[in-house]
Structure 1
Amino acid sequence: MRKLMMVMGASMLAAAPVVSADILGVGATVGYWDADYSGEASKGNDRVDLERDLNLSNDSNANLTAYFEHPVPVLPNVRLAYTRTKQSGNGQLNTGYDGVSGAVRSELELEQLDVTLYYEILDNWVNLDLGLTVRDFSGELLVQNRNDTSQFSETKADAVLPLVYVAARFDLPFTGVSVGGDANAISYDGDSVYDFNVYGQYEMSLLQLRAGYRQISLDYEDGDDNLDIELSGPFVSAGLRF
């Protein structure tokens, strides 16, 4: 299925008319994403609900992006993105999870690095980019009894996945204001990753300000370990465009 997704993406790019940038363009942003987790993790036949059982709350996150656009039509543009979220909390496991029960302390961390190769299909007041993303992601859930440290569980999922990338933006002429969104997605063999955001943007000279909403839905099985989780919430970012 991965090969099918990559072939579909390559065919889509080959069939679309490509618009190249007039000059070299470089940009970078840093953002804050107020993401909340929901869903569940499983290890073998044991399952745990992230909200009801573990009571996770947001601790920290990091969101960084950078891109490079050029005027060579044949070569794709490049976009890099890094996302890291971490939540922890104190909960109660009445039925037990992977040998852990009672009062527990939990920590869930998700980290992902994207390398996206894309082409500009439209580049005027309507902007459309199509491409392929390679995502290196890892997720880890640690659960430990607060009174008995020998009761400890680790659930992990790691993978490198190809995803279809689509981004669109609509500019209001002469205002610096625009609205848009982008998405990365793949589904295969019962596993899936969907990552999308919508935003409003304001540009002034080299400065770019955004505010919007982002959601990641991840359902991935790694051996006996499975993470079926969703992260969603508002974000803000600031960047420079040259």
Structure 2
Amino acid sequence: MKKLPIAVTASLLAFAPVASADVLGFGASVGYWDSDLSGEASRGNDQVDVENDLNLSNNDEINLSAYLEHPIPLLPNVRLSYVRIDQEGRGQLSTSFDVLPSGVNVSSQLDWTQADLTLYYEVLDNWVNLDLGLTARNLDAELVVQEVNSTAVSRTEVDAVLPMLYAAARFDLPLTGLSVGAHGNVIGYDGDSIYDYDAYAQYQFVGVQLRAGYRQMTVDYEDGDDRLDVDIAGPFVSAGFSF
């Protein structure tokens, strides 16, 4: 597991503004992200194309989120989110990868989970909404590539706890229940970077929220000899409530 230097973390914490919500609020949602994976995984000097060589495709996925906002000055609001991506595929290696020689048929599985704790402040809270804060992300990803009809197997693993900048904006269309918005997390340091953002349209009625949009996550991260340089992107839908 690799962590950010203390100096970087401190500089991120220094930017947080001082603001608070007008009333106590709570919300939660569950969603589905129809994501496609592209890019490369590396072990040492060996690389494999996760799309063309492994033919990974979405198998199982869950997205959960919840937030709590309060009127207490100086204390940040809290947002929790969880993403699990499970992709499987069968393909043929175009080059050698780790213990696997070029040209062999392989079966692969990507198990990706991330849990976010976000502390944020409301900077604007009317028909234009703007939140700013910091996210602590626990990222755990494992790519297993095994030769078909053989015990030869390669494992690429990334395990990291990352502080990230967080921003969310929403524009409400008065008296319609309709809104459009975007939110994202980002961090970059020492050659590693993660960009995770989405844009959406939302309809809300009697506390129920229906949302549809597009999300993209770009990860370029090295953990020891293992590296993931991948894009995960696609449309999403979610349903939730707030009060």
* TM-score normalised per structure 1: 0.95
Q: 2:213 aligns to what SS in structure 1?
A: strand
Amino acid of the residue matched to residue 172 of structure 1? Answer: L
Per-residue deviation, 1:207: 0.2
Distance between the aligned counterparts of 1:11 and 1:140, measured in 2? 33
Equivalent runs, 1:31-70 vs 2, <5 Å: 31-70=31-70
Contact 1:217 1:231 in 2 (8 A): yes
Per-residue deviation, 1:6: 3.4
Counterpart of 1:11 in structure 2 is 14
Task: Give aligned pairs, total.
Answer: 238
Counterpart of 1:136 in structure 2 is 138
Q: 1:174 aligns to what SS in structure 2?
A: coil
Q: 1:95 aligns to what SS in structure 2?
A: coil
Q: 2:21 aligns to what SS in structure 1?
A: coil
Distance between the aligned counterparts of 1:2 and 1:29, measured in 2? 33
Counterpart of 1:108 in structure 2 is 110
Q: CA RMSD in A?
A: 1.2
Amino acid of the residue matched to residue 109 of structure 1? Answer: D
Contact 2:18 2:121 in 1 (8 A): no
Counterpart of 1:85 in structure 2 is 85
Equivalent runs, 1:74-223 vs 2, <5 Å: 74-101=74-101, 102-148=104-150, 150-223=151-224
Contact 1:9 1:131 in 2 (8 A): no
Q: 2:186 aligns to what SS in structure 1?
A: strand
Per-residue deviation, 1:12: 2.5
Unpaired stretches in structure 1, ≥5 consecutive residues? none
Question: Percent sequence identity over matched residues?
Answer: 58
Cα displacement string for residues 204-223 of structure 1 (whole angstroms, at most 9, x for unaligned residues): 01100100000001111111
Contact 1:5 1:164 in 2 (8 A): no
Distance between the aligned counterparts of 2:45 and 2:94, measured in 1? 16
Per-residue deviation, 1:11: 3.1
Distance between the aligned counterparts of 1:111 and 1:24, measured in 2? 30
Contact 1:193 1:216 in 2 (8 A): yes
Unpaired stretches in structure 2, ≥5 consecutive residues? none
Cα displacement string for residues 10-48 of structure 1 (whole angstroms, at most 9, x for unaligned residues): 3322xx452x22221110000000000000000011100
Amino acid of the residue matched to residue 181 of structure 2? Answer: G
Distance between the aligned counterparts of 1:202 and 1:5, measured in 2? 38
Distance between the aligned counterparts of 1:84 and 1:4, measured in 2? 31
Distance between the aligned counterparts of 1:215 and 1:3, measured in 2? 28
Cα displacement string for residues 140-173 of structure 1 (whole angstroms, at most 9, x for unaligned residues): 100001121x211100000000000000000011
* TM-score normalised per structure 2: 0.95
Cα displacement string for residues 173-226 of structure 1 (whole angstroms, at most 9, x for unaligned residues): 111100000010000010111100000011001100100000001111111110
Deviates more, 1:92-101 or 1:123-132: 92-101
